[in-house]
Amino acid sequence: MASLSSSLKFTARRCKPELVAPAKPTPHELKLLSDIDDQDGLRFQIPIIMIYRNEPSMAGKDPVEVIREGLAKTLVFYYPFAGRIREGHDRKLMVDCTGEGVMFIEADAEVTLDQFGDSLVPPFPCFEELLYDVPDSQEITDCPILLIQVTRLKCGGFILIVRLNHTMCDGAGLSQFMNAWAEIARGARQPSIPPVWQRELLLARDPPRITCNHREYEQFPNTNEGTVTSYENNMVLRSFFFGPAEMAALRRLIPHHLRACSTFDVITACFWLCRTKALQIDLDEDVRMMCIVNARARFNPPLPVGYYGNAFVYPAAITTARKLCENSFGYAVELMNKVKSEVNEEYVRSVTDLMVIKGRCLFTTVRSCIISDLTRSRFREINFGWGNAVYGGVAKGGAGSFPAVTFQVPYKNANGEEGIILPIWLPTKAMERFVIELGEMLGNQNQLKKSGPRSIMSSL
């Protein structure tokens, strides 16, 4: 059964977009982004959605006003967000701290959260009503760095969407900013974790030198017509829930010596294997799975607490489609585990140098996919006074014009089970095959065909 939300239609009443500036004067200065921040692969906008239920203890308080006022006060501490990205020599990006502010939209919708159904996961109905795409706001330079819409619902709940220029920060950095915002909205005078800029910590060395093998940045022609490299008219988005039952089924397929592997490795290996089979990639072609690895703790000493820039790399596990599809499941799991373990400080330094040497190049998109773990970003726990969010995480999946990116998002289903949501973009026919492949791995193929994992599978 498709999610009830797939048939929900509504129109939001929006106020005119406005700029929210810092509540007090802030420094006017030019700040360089790091050489991790401004690579091609991060030059896109990514929306994060937070869904909140009505909270009786907040009766009489307007979430729009609480959030807007808290935002202005938070921007005093995180004032670079109120500036504009500029591009300089050799495509180097920097923040012009102008204090102009971030774009903010107030809206109302005559719907309740119950009308969204039990599965509050991507794809969300009428998403364009929940986040108005302000004309000319999608550019990376010379635009507000954040676009925010707060939509009140008639049940007393509300939906907050924050669209981020990814060159400014990663998931951990955005979570830090939003937690500070929530703290101040609840009455704090300042963030409990002071923000740290220090982007010079991730600038290239002088002279730059590539010391590691970075196959995630190899560039070569696409020889496989089935490869997904950009959004197409026949693409669909579906979310899959991996709860205790699904994880137990997958772990039964893993050899004993890998039983201690992480949930991230297991779900990633499963996704990679099922996706490769679903796309029917030529068995002799190489396929890549790139894992987002947070590098903050890989430095000696670690990056400072409070650093909110992009601080990750995406090393690539590479094999042929034949080896991936014909070996045991443990083969894919072991590849995931191994590639993450290879990331150290020198690896990250080598990436920063590569960006300067190769012109801030894009990662490999041919027969590639990327997965990121948002479980530690804890977007659900960002509390503006209305408690934890029902859902907190990516709104769509994908990354800019590259759909082969997914995220592991923590989620509690309608039965109260904690698990992971995986939003996936695939062509329609490939999605049908993906469901079958996943069903075979989980041992419940017939049920998956009918409803998707735990009935959380809906089409865009």
- Alpha-carbon torsion (286, 291, 292, 297), positive or negative: negative
Residue 143 is given by DSSP the state: S
Q: Show the beta-strand stretches assigned E in 24-169.
A: 30-32, 45-52, 84-87, 93-96, 102-109, 146-153, 158-165
Are the C-beta atoms of residues 272 and 325 closer than 8 Å to each other? Answer: no
Token reading at 42: 């991060």
Q: Quick one: which of 384, 21, 380, 395 has its CA closest to 180?
A: 384
Beta bridge partner(s), residue 287? 319
Q: Which of 166, 214, 294, 413 is catalytic?
A: 166
- Residue 147's identity, in one-letter code, is L
Q: Cα separation of 307 and 93, whole Å?
A: 18
Burial of 63 (0-12, 13-18, 19+ CB in 10 A): buried
CA angle 133, 112, 20 (to 5 degrees): 40
Are the C-beta atoms of residues 364 and 288 closer than 8 Å to each other? Answer: yes
What residues contact 125, with CB distance under 8 A and at least 6 apart?
Answer: 5, 6, 7, 8, 9, 10, 116
- Greatest CA separation for the chain: 63
Q: Which of 54, 327, 344, 383 is catalytic?
A: 383
Residue 166: active-site member: yes
Are the C-beta atoms of residues 198 and 304 closer than 8 Å to each other? Answer: yes
Active site residues: 166, 383
